[in-house]
Copies of this chain bind each other. A is one copy, B any other.
Amino acid sequence: MSEKPFGLSVKALITDDEGRWLLLRRSMKSRFFRGEWDLPGGKLDPGERFDEAVVREVAEETGLRASVAGAAGVGEFELPAVHVVVLYVRAKASPGQVVLSGEHEAFEWVAPDKLLEMNLCQDLRAFVEKHPRPGAV
């Protein structure tokens, strides 16, 4: 049990027509998890609904217009000052070119069976390991 305050983040599971996941590599200047592959997402702004946060974060980090399709799972990770609960959300994105923000340095569409070969951030690795058949999430 954590004595730290809890925070809620969302992460968007966006797949293309071939079922590949959109992953972003975090900047080497990130405060945490630098250089690791992650999903688009981030913490909810105060008062923001989770689905609004998904749409906003996907737009900010990829330039894509997303809509929420459903919940895929939960995860957790620790930061120095907060215990973060992650809500993984299946999202649909309109076709378009991915345009990264300064938070990330690369993107890649990754086939499900290649995900664990990537240097994933820890909560995403745990999520993938728990969901061996990603089509089922």
Binding site for B on A (CB under 8 A): 1-2, 5-8, 46-47, 49-51, 67-76, 83, 85-88, 92
Chain B residues whose C-beta falls within 8 Å of the C-beta of A83 in the assembled complex: 70
Given A1-B67, A87-B85, residue A8 in contact with residue B74 (CB < 8 A): no
Q: How far is the CA of A5 from the CA of B68 in the complex (A)?
A: 9
Q: Which 7 A-B pairs have the closest CB atoms?
A: A47-B47, A6-B51, A71-B74, A71-B85, A1-B69, A8-B50, A74-B74
Chain B residues whose C-beta falls within 8 Å of the C-beta of A67 in the assembled complex: 1
Q: Which residue of the partner chain, among B49, B73, B85, B92, contacts A6 with CB atoms under 8 Å? A: B49
Given A87-B85, A87-B87, residue A70 in contact with residue B1 (CB < 8 A): yes
